[in-house]
Structure 1
Amino acid sequence: MKKTKKILSLILAGAMMMSLTACGGKTEESKSSSTETTTAQATTEGAATTGEKTADGKQYKIGVLQLVQHTALDAANKGFIKALDDAGLNYVADQQNAAGDQSTCQTIASKLVNDGSDLILSIATPAAQAVAGTTTDIPVLVTAVTDPAASDLVASNDAPGGNVSGTSDLTPVKEQISLLKKILPDAKTVGILYASSESNSEIQAKMAREAIEAEGMTAVDYTVSSSNEIQTVVTSMVGKVDAIYAPTDNTIAAGMTTVAMVANENGLPTICGEEGMVKAGGLATYGIDYFELGYLTGQQAVKILKDGDDISKMPIEYLPADKCKLSVNEETAKALGIDVSNIK
């Protein structure tokens, strides 16, 4: 009888060990699936474990909400992380990507707040609005936002007055339209392509209309409500405009290969808001460096976390003019039969 009890005890102990092992495996899998959302995300998480210990030995928890994956926003994210690493900050970054969906932005924003983040980085206007609307206590830095004040994120760009500050990606729209006119001196009508759901783009579209009219051309708006409409809308521009201007719009940037495919096949040159869009098939731009923009935001994060700076008194910062650069897609120019040698 005692022998039987001993055997039963051994079997029970073994079953308990198997149960504990299985539970541990599920926890690790859940952690992995929640953090490795994108390729860029996996890269920044690796960097997040390399920070040196601060004087008090504290490890900061930083939440990152990126609206969608595309070249410019990825670069801003990497620049932010590089600034933290260069400052020797001890931190862990919870990287999250909303894949361009506003409701997902809200869900992730709530998660980052509930997780007790010490600071949250929001990349692009919809992501910033989601986070800013979820917390008034946690410091929130924004980047890749054209005008934080106009997007109701801060009281004013000079004096935010709350828990939100960051950097603006206000692009040199006037100079970009001048570039368009220089490359295409005979252009009469320019189609402005952007997503109607992005306040960031509405601001740039207004600036573009003014600049286009100042150059003696006519501006016509062409908007999409989602990426699914890009091909149809760009096709509708054929024969009606002489060129396309696409600002730093996240929906258009993420779908730039589709824009370029239709536009280039139909002889429509596209002047873009940033370099990544040019690499994806656009003709040219004169724009900011998003890695440098993210780096500038990361320096703000260090001032808040390490130096104790008051975010409410931290003005929105802008990249200096010398951080803007000319980018030309030579292959696109050749395909369109356009000579770009006079703009270099």
Structure 2
Amino acid sequence: MKSFTQAAKAATFTLIAGAAALTFATGAAHAAETATVEVLSIVEHPALDAIRDGVRDELKAAGYDAGKNLKWEYQSAQGNTGTAAQIARKFVGDNPSAIVAIATPSAQAVVAATKTVPVVYSGVTDPVAAQLVKTWAPSGTNVTGVSDKLPLDKQIALIKRVVPNAKNVGMVYNPGEANSVVVVKQLKTLLAQQGLTLKEAAAPRTVDIGPAAKSLIGKVDVIYTNTDNNVVSAYEALVKVANDAKIPLVAADTDSVKRGAVAALGIDYSDLGHQTGKVVVRILKGENPGAIASETSNKLQLYVNPAAAQKQGVKLSDDLLKDATTVVK
């Protein structure tokens, strides 16, 4: 039989061990609760919204559940770069675990606002041209992310499949968006190599999209739209002009096909969001963003819309319809 002293010592040890275990458990729970992810998007439209939702779903799949062990905040700059800069500064002041910046203007605003808080960009076509990172290799800074860069040669091939005799390709874009400027420059060179000409129409604001598209009537055989956020956010204005003038629309954003483009060869932005979410999870688990190389997606999907093709004066070939990942009804 144990002496009273031995029993007291045993009881004391048990209490200390229990208290230590409780302290550890409480600390772990607190650490989980303090994981904070703040998300800034330049504007709301289906592709960017799909990135946001994909990130959130991927975090939940990894055990980070908003409202339980994750503080999640999302804000849209409503297409205003000044507002994006204000939100970026507010987010940096919160000192979150990571900031997800969706689309180039958002990413530029956040990167300009902090050199310490981990930043994960997404939906940025050319992060090097946008000066988010110096190269595609690990940046050695607080920035990494996932690009939606598309091979332009395949975009041109799709344009020629939709409009085989095209000579002049129109493009409506925002000259204030770095990604679009890069695409215009590269597309102009690549089209010239194949005997085609690019006709540009600037639309710095959403209200400029319709007039810019109208300025191309009679000058182009087809209009190509990249993932320019200004254009995509008000795509219906472009579709109306295309339908009225019988000018086929070929897009880089697959969601634009559901909204009236004839065809698109692009990325599933929900998948891009999940890919971005995986990068965020790595950071939440302790990895340094500067040690994570920028990524791209190679999961291209072909969407076609026969009804839109009919409205815009073209007939899609049987081969194109056969190759489509999705035929929009």
Q: Using the alignment, how far apart are the partners of 1:105 and 1:172 within structure 2?
A: 29
> Does 1:333 find its partner at 2:312?
no
Aligned match of 2:115: 136
Q: Using the alignment, how far apart are the partners of 2:31 and 2:82 within structure 1?
A: 38
**Residue type at the aligned position of 1:324:** L
Deviation at 1:58, TM superposition (A): 3.8
Equivalent of 1:309, from 279, 284, 287? 287
> Does 1:276 find its partner at 2:255?
yes
Aligned match of 2:55: 80
The answer to whether the 8 A contact 2:254-2:264 is kept is yes
TM-score, scaled relative to structure 2? 0.85
User: In the TM superposition, what whole-angstrom CA distance separates every residue of 1:170-228 from its partner, at most 9, and x where no partner exists?
Assistant: 02321111111112111111112211000011111222222322332111221111111
> Does 1:224 find its partner at 2:203?
yes
Aligned match of 2:215: 236
Aligned match of 1:194: 173
User: In the TM superposition, what whole-angstrom CA distance separates every residue of 1:104-157 from its partner, at most 9, and x where no partner exists?
Assistant: 001101111112211100000000010111111100000000111111111211
Q: Using the alignment, how far apart are the partners of 2:110 and 2:199 within structure 1?
A: 33
- Stretches of 4+ moved more than 3 A in 1? 53-59
Deviation at 1:279, TM superposition (A): 1.3
**Matches for 1:316-327 after TM superposition, within 5 Å:** 316-320=294-298, 323-327=299-303
User: In the TM superposition, what whole-angstrom CA distance separates every residue of 1:215-258 from its partner, at most 9, and x where no partner exists?
Assistant: 32111221111111111111111001111111110000011100
> Does 1:70 find its partner at 2:45?
yes
Moved more, 292-301 or 199-208: 199-208
Aligned match of 1:10: none
Q: Using the alignment, how far apart are the partners of 1:68 and 1:131 within structure 2?
A: 15
**Residue type at the aligned position of 2:175:** S
Aligned match of 2:243: 264
The answer to whether the 8 A contact 1:191-1:241 is kept is yes
**Residue type at the aligned position of 2:311:** A
**Residue type at the aligned position of 2:247:** L
Identity percentage over the alignment? 36
**Residue type at the aligned position of 1:335:** K
The answer to whether the 8 A contact 1:205-1:247 is kept is no
Equivalent of 1:342, from 295, 298, 319? 319
* Local SS of the residue matching 1:141: strand
Aligned match of 2:268: 289
Give 5+ residue unaligned stretches, structure 2: 1-27, 323-329
Q: Using the alignment, how far apart are the partners of 2:101 and 2:74 within structure 1?
A: 10
TM-score, scaled relative to structure 1? 0.81
* Local SS of the residue matching 2:278: helix
Aligned match of 1:213: 192
Aligned match of 2:23: none
* Local SS of the residue matching 1:237: coil
Deviation at 1:337, TM superposition (A): 3.6
The answer to whether the 8 A contact 2:242-2:312 is kept is no
The answer to whether the 8 A contact 1:170-1:318 is kept is yes
Q: Using the alignment, how far apart are the partners of 2:211 and 2:32 within structure 1?
A: 55
Deviation at 1:55, TM superposition (A): 9.5
* Local SS of the residue matching 2:215: helix
How many residues matched? 289
User: In the TM superposition, what whole-angstrom CA distance separates every residue of 1:272-306 from its partner, at most 9, and x where no partner exists?
Assistant: 11111111111111111111111111101111112
Deviation at 1:54, TM superposition (A): 6.4
**Residue type at the aligned position of 2:309:** A
User: In the TM superposition, what whole-angstrom CA distance separates every residue of 1:43-89 from its partner, at most 9, and x where no partner exists?
Assistant: xxxxxxxxxx8695443111100110111101111111111011002
Deviation at 1:262, TM superposition (A): 0.6
* Local SS of the residue matching 2:113: coil
* Local SS of the residue matching 1:129: helix
How big is the alpha-carbon RMSD for the aligned residues of Structure 1 and Structure 2? 1.4
* Local SS of the residue matching 1:133: helix
**Residue type at the aligned position of 1:215:** Q
Q: Using the alignment, how far apart are the partners of 1:337 and 1:192 within structure 2?
A: 18
* Local SS of the residue matching 1:302: helix
Q: Using the alignment, how far apart are the partners of 2:29 and 2:248 within structure 1?
A: 51
The answer to whether the 8 A contact 1:188-1:242 is kept is yes
Aligned match of 1:48: none
Q: Using the alignment, how far apart are the partners of 2:271 and 2:177 within structure 1?
A: 23
Q: Using the alignment, how far apart are the partners of 1:338 and 1:224 within structure 2?
A: 26
